[in-house]
Structure 1
Amino acid sequence: MPIIWIAYLLAFIDRVNIGIASLGMKQSLGLTDEDFGLAAGIFFIGYFILEIPGTYIVEKLSAKKWIARILISWGLVASLTGLVQDKWQLFAARFALGLAEASFFPGIIVYLTHWFLEDERSRAVSLFMSAIAVANIILSPLSGWLLTVNWLGLEGWRWVLILEGLPSVFWGIAVLFLLPDWPRDAKWLSHEEAKWLEEELERERKSHPPERVSFWTTGLKIPEAWLLALVYFLATSGLYGITFWSPQVLKALTGGNSIVVGILNAVMYTAALVSMIIVGRSSDRRGERFFHSSIPLFIGAVGLVLVAPLANQPHLAFIALIIAAVGIYGFYPPFWPIPQRMLAGVARAVAVGLINSVGNLGGFAGPYIVGYLNTIGHMSYAGLIYLAGSTVASGALLLYLRKKLSTSTPQK
């Protein structure tokens, strides 16, 4: 867990640090809000293209080699993004970053099924995904400070991207030596411990319906997988909408400098981290996934809706942003055990890749639509209503899926 947690920490830093960098980048490159929304979101178009094949590789070949390749390639692209000279180069760099990082997250979700039993997976996912919140906690004040430097004639926002990409390259090399593919490869487990764990995992796998062996009919033709992909798309629109745009919203609320914005952003994600841990543990303890995923989305929507009317009261508006982050981030730990429970083997790998690839297109839609609405509305809050509606729709669809599944097979 520490190995993949650090990897995801670096992944999230490198995909979202453009949010903090935008405080200097927009003026330097002459970006409109719509341009910035496109630059932030186009990452997920490249991400979508190579997503499903990567999860198949993790399940059937080697997780550590594939994850190491991803880390090294995305780290190099992330650092080179700091050298772009115009918006078109920025678009190309963000698209390439998505290609480089594709399949990392769903590959890890599949990889966790090699190590954790079903009743432990929500906690495992919540621990792994806590790296998202911690990334923002670390990233916000660090990037806020880097924005103030001007080394070697390069503006601070460029150093944000250059310096924060390099650790991924070094960690990718370390993964080749540190990360075991299966329990039997782990040096810290005895032969008996590894054998017991793999036998228990195999017993759980056999308790699922027989696996269909065709790649294209395994996972891709399961209607519930596509519905979960839509749920994830709508929730992820909210996640990345608030992640990429919160520095801009905080700047508008407070008129603060980049360091102040960074600190406030860190406070917001500290609350989100606590939410992820609490919701994940509660979901495992109660053995329930659907309500634990949907209710946080409704709470997040309330927070998003309240930001705009509270704009003249910055302290209350900031609390509303915290509520939004607590709700939206709380959705993720109990969500991923749902497809893990429904499927096994290659079916699970392909379905997880499908859900994450289609769902993460919300990472394109959320930031871009927010940027577009802000541009035509000439305000920093116009897109928040879209994000709130997206998260509400995601929670409602999740409850619909729960009802649908309960009429066919028992689900929790």
Structure 2
Amino acid sequence: MVSEKNLIAKITWRLMPFLGFLYLIAYIDRQNVSFAKLQMVDALGLSEYAYGLGASLFFIGYFLFEVPSNLFLSRFGASKWFARIMVSWGIVTIALAYTSSPTMFYILRFLLGVAEAGFFPGVLYLLTLWFPKDYRGRMVGLFMIFSALANAIGAPLGGMLLDLDGLFGYAGWEWVFLATGVPAVIAGVVTFFYLDDTPAKAKFLSADEKRWLEERLASENAGMAEDADNGFRALLNPRVLLMALCYIGFPLAAYGLSYWLPTIVKGFGVSNTVNGFINIIPWVIVALALWLVPSAADKTENKTPYIVGPAFVGALCLLLSAVISVPVVQFALLCVAAAGIFAGQPVFWSLPGRFLKGAGAAAGIAAINSVGNLGGFIAQNVVPWIRDATGSTIAPMFFLSACLAMAGVLVIVVGRMLARHGRPSVQS
């Protein structure tokens, strides 16, 4: 007889540390451009606006190729497609070390978005193939903990790489790209041989375990609509479109956090190195929240409070951090805001698997993530514009706080709207 607890533990230990490590690499590769900027702007003769535009082109490539990438994943399998994603983005990152002009920088940043598109939603789709719905919130939370770890180690790592300036004839900003690109290529090769596409192909599971998992997932998917496995129709599904709209506020708020936090810590009068290490604290708190909130949500049918509650708390703390002038208090508020921004997201991402499966889940999750991540593009362009137009570093925080609060409101509206139609919803 198959033990559910032992089987889930076996799958968790096989998949989650490995997928989390890949995400850590991905997140650090996203961060590297912010550290390289400290030297790269002067080296290439770029203005702040030109550099910001180039950095934001990542999100355009990501947006355009997110859905196609996830559909290819469902067709070719996780091992092959994740290997392609890792190797290609590693190569583009390495190429950034040899950037010689603004045009080259723009092209490579766009190509990096194209290369990485599909990784995060691909993992979310993969979790629907391996875990029953009662475990998915926790698994997404566990996966996202590695993004918190990446933020925790990214700042000290970026600083150390910049300090290699001149080593073997490479500038510090070039070392940032080289040292973060090579691990992605290596990880891509390992992924091809390590990762199993589906439970049916997994050599580490027994025949009984495969059968139990297949029957459990089949029973959960039995009540779904006939077109739940249709990739194209998923893109037109009102639930998918509304969730995509809801999600925009979360990347916007996350950018606000990364924008505001170093400035607050700088007010402590510390060095850049100490600033980087102090910035570890919020991400430790985020990691704890990413486990505790989804774990609690998985034990209840009503998911809405576990998405909306953290969002409202995060919005309030972002707002207060901008109007309270005491640096220590501001820092404490931002630590709570960080937890609020990220803690409810795993619960949010467990929802599409309740009404989509197969190609439908692959396309729907990718669509939600691609539209939502335009929040990063919006933030990287709107925040500097608000700051320049008002002459205030505080004004952008009101905008970002309002966006996160609106995301929480939309989650409530969507849940009630779908419930009225008698469909699975955020309160199902």
| TM-score normalised over the length of structure 2 | 0.89
How does 1:2-401 map onto structure 2 within 5 Å?
A: 2-150=17-165, 151-211=167-227, 215-216=231-232, 218-243=233-258, 245-246=259-260, 248-250=262-264, 252-311=266-325, 313-401=326-414
Asked if structure 2 preserves the Cα contact closer than 8 Å seen for 1:141 and 1:262, the reply is: yes
State the alpha-carbon separation in 2 of the partners of residues 28 and 331 from structure 1: 40
Q: Which amino acid aligns with 1:249?
A: T
CA distance in 2, matches of 1:224, 1:316: 39
Indicate the SS of the match to 1:220: helix
Specify which structure has the bigger relative contact order, considering alpha-carbon pairs within 8 angstroms and separated by 6 or more residues.
1
**After superposition, what is the alpha-carbon deviation per residue over 1:202-238, rounded to whole angstroms, capped at 9, x for unaligned?**
221122122366542x212211211100111122221
**How big is the shift at 1:78?**
1.5
Question: Cα gap change, 1:196/1:33 in structure 2, threshold over 3 Å: closer, same or farther?
Answer: same
Q: CA deviation at 1:142?
A: 1.5
Q: Quote the offset at 1:157 in angstroms.
A: 3.0
* Cα separation, partners in 2 of 1:110 and 1:392, compared to 1, 3 Å: same
1:404 corresponds to: 417
Amino acid corresponding to residue 342 of structure 1 in structure 2: F
CA distance in 2, matches of 1:29, 1:320: 37
* Root-mean-square deviation (Å): 2.1
Q: Which moved more, 1:43-52 or 1:314-323?
A: 314-323
| Number of residue pairs the alignment of both structures matches | 409
CA–CA separation in structure 2 for the residues paired with 1:288 and 1:23: 46
Contact 1:33 1:375 in 2 (8 A): no
Which stretch shows the higher mean deviation, 207-216 or 187-196?
A: 207-216
Q: Secondary structure, in 3 states, of the residue corresponding to 2:130?
A: coil
**Greater shift in the superposed pair: 251-260 or 128-137:** 251-260
Equivalent-residue separation in structure 2 for 1:399 and 1:291 (angstroms): 9
C-alpha displacement at 1:331, in angstroms?
Answer: 2.4
Residues 3, 178 of structure 1: 8 Å contact kept:
no
- The secondary structure found in structure 2 opposite 1:279 is helix
Identical-pair percentage: 35
Q: Give the 3 Å change call, closer, same or farther, for CA 99–279 of structure 1 in structure 2.
A: same
Report if the CA contact (8 A) 2:225-2:355 is conserved. Answer: no
Unaligned stretches of 5+ residues in structure 2 = 1-15
Q: Distance in 2 between matches of 1:247 and 1:94?
A: 25
5+ residue gaps, structure 1: none
**Cα deviation, residue 122, structure 1:** 0.2
**Secondary structure, counterpart of 1:204 in structure 2:** helix
TM norm structure 1: 0.93
Q: Measure the CA separation in 2 of the matches of 1:192 and 1:260.
A: 53
**What is the CA–CA distance in structure 2 between the aligned matches of 1:280 and 1:36, rounded to whole Å?**
37
Cα distance between partner residues in 2 of 1:308 and 1:200: 48
